[in-house]
């Protein structure tokens, strides 16, 4: 009989263990809310590594404050390798296998558009972090996609304010030949020409993203003899362009207006080759003196013993925004997330921002200023924060551009 009871007890124990094995993950999942995050980590580490640090800091802060309605916030991250198809595959895995409540992230504009299309087809909430193409909230905007960073239109409008004051009439452009570069050039030319009908666009150079052959590009622009240049290259392409341009004297006595160049991830690698006087958008973290930014800077430096890049801000605010939307919705249902996100306001390291109902664009702004050299390193000087809301078209214009949901 003893053998029977031992066997029975063992069977009960095994059954209990099996039951525990089946229920524990479900219980654990019921105590979590997952966000599926996608980015080009292996392709663009200069931006995405600080970005990752930013969102990891935000996750820690959200969970230390009690999570989302008492549930732990978990980020499941995937690398898209800079390929739209891989990004869509990652998105599908995150939704179908990981059961994430929403998608977030992406860097390159073409990848952001690919994930936005996936989100629209599958009816999944998507918070685009970095892609700058105007299409993501306007011509190809959809009900399920929201965007954090100030768009090409917004940053172009900020730059045009200063660029239009330049006496230069003959302009050339240099931009990577994909969605972001094409979008940035188009909107800058449109806004600049509206303010300065006298301008002539004398040359356009379209090097492939990440593969610029700077010598021929610089030579072609110089041959067009512009008085000013719009630059949209970034990362390693920017370094090559600046080096070759400095060597050949392209920038001497010419004005340059440049998207993103004041961001530390792109300005720092230029070191003592940094050209002075370029009109840029960027992130002069060392010159921002506000309580909101001071708090972020202190927390970031305490955790990483390093200074933030703009990617750090974008990653941090992406998760903070996602958490605020989830908390307001009190649900992971996509329709309730959309309702919560439309018109929501929240704090950020740059001050309060709002996600507009009409186009799902946030009002996060950007800093503009000029490049300068200090102690053998590039910095931004004469910088000022431009509120995003001040650089967006009115509702009537948005309604013409954005498809009806």
Residues 292 and 347 sit within 8 Å (Cβ to Cβ): yes
Element (H, E) at 49: helix 45-64
Q: Which of 22-31, 137-146, 181-190, 355-364 has the lowest mean pLDDT?
A: 22-31
Residues 176 and 233 sit within 8 Å (Cβ to Cβ): yes
Structural domains in the chain, CATH included, are 28-151+288-365 (3.40.50.2300), 153-285+368-391 (3.40.50.2300)
Between CA 366 and CA 383 the distance in angstroms is: 10
Between CA 375 and CA 67 the distance in angstroms is: 43
pTM attached to this predicted model: 0.91
Q: How confident is the model at residue 404 (pLDDT cuts 50, 70, 90)?
A: confident
Q: Which of 24-33, 228-237, 302-311 has the lowest mean pLDDT?
A: 24-33
Phi-psi region of 375 (alpha: psi -120 to 50; beta: other; left: phi over 0): left
Identify the three-state secondary structure at position 79. Answer: strand
Chain centroid to Cα 135, Å, comes to 14
| Predicted confidence (pLDDT) per residue in 251-288, tens digit | 999 999 999 999 999 999 999 999 999 999 999 999 99
For 201, phi and psi rounded to 5 degrees?
Answer: -100, 105
Pairing of the two strands 377-386 and 366-374: antiparallel
**More confident: 15 or 242:** 242
| Predicted confidence (pLDDT) per residue in 316-327, tens digit | 999 999 999 999
pLDDT the model gives residue 30:
67
Percent of the chain with pLDDT over 90: 92
| Predicted confidence (pLDDT) per residue in 142-196, tens digit | 999 999 999 999 999 999 999 999 999 999 999 999 999 999 999 999 999 999 9
């Amino acid at each position: 009989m003893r053998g029977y009871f031992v066997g029975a007890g063992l069977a009960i124990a095994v059954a209990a263990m099996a039951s525990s094995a089946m229920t524990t993950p479900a219980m654990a999942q019921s105590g979590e809310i997952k966000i599926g995050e996608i980015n080009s980590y292996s392709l663009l580490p200069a931006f995405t590594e600080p970005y990752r640090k930013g969102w990891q800091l935000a996750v820690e802060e959200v969970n230390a404050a009690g999570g989302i309605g008492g549930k732990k916030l978990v980020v499941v991250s995937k690398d898209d390798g800079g390929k739209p198809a891989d990004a869509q595959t990652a998105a599908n895995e995150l939704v179908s296998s990981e059961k994430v409540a929403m998608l977030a992230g992406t860097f390159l504009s073409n990848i952001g558009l690919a994930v936005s299309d996936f989100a629209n087809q599958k009816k999944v909430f998507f918070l685009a972090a970095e892609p700058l193409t105007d299409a993501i909230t306007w011509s190809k905007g959809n009900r399920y996609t929201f965007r954090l960073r100030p768009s090409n239109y917004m940053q172009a409008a900020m730059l045009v304010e200063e660029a239009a004051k330049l006496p230069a009439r003959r302009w050339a452009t240099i931009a990577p030949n994909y969605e972001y570069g094409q979008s940035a050039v188009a909107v800058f030319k449109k806004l600049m020409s509206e303010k300065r009908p006298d301008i002539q666009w004398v040359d356009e150079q379209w090097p492939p993203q990440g593969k610029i052959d700077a010598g021929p590009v610089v030579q072609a622009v110089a041959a067009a003899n512009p008085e000013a240049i719009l630059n949209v290259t970034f990362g390693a392409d920017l370094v090559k362009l600046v080096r070759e341009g400095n060597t050949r004297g392209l920038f001497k006595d010419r004005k340059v207006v440049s998207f993103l160049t004041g961001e530390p991830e792109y300005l720092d690698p230029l070191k003592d080759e940094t050209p002075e006087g370029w009109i840029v958008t960027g992130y002069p973290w060392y010159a921002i003196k506000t309580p909101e930014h001071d708090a972020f800077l202190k927390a970031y430096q305490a955790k990483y013993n390093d200074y933030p890049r703009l990617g750090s801000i974008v990653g941090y605010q992406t998760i903070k925004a996602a958490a605020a939307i989830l908390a307001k919705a009190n649900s992971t249902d996509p329709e309730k997330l959309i309702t919560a996100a439309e018109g929501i306001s929240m704090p950020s390291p740059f001050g309060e921002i709002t996600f507009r109902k009409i186009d799902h664009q946030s009002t996060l702004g950007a800093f503009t200023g000029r490049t300068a050299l200090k102690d053998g390193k590039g910095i931004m000087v004469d910088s000022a924060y431009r509120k995003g809301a001040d650089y967006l078209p009115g509702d009537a214009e948005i309604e013409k551009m954005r498809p009806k949901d």
